[in-house]
Amino acid sequence: MTKRYRWGLFVACFITAVVFVYREDKKFSAALDRKPNREAFIGRWRLESDSFPSVFSRTGKSPFISEIFLGQDGRFKASDMPMENHFKEPLFSLVSTEGEWELERQQAWVLSLVVNRGGYPLRIESKNGEVVALSYAVSDPDSSEHWIWKKVP
- For the segment 86-125, what is each residue's pLDDT rounded down to a tens digit? 777 778 889 899 999 999 988 888 999 998 767 788 989 8
Cα distance between residue 108 and residue 114, in whole Å: 18
Q: How many CB atoms lie under 10 A from the CB of residue 16?
A: 10
Position 2 scores a pLDDT of: 60
**How many angstroms separate the CA atoms of 68 and 79, rounded?**
7
- Residues of the chain with confidence (pLDDT) below 50: 5-27, 29
Residue 55, classed as helix, strand or coil, is: helix
Compute the distance between CA of residue 149 and CA of residue 134 in angstroms, rounded to an integer. Answer: 5
pLDDT of residue 24: 37
pLDDT reported for residue 89: 76
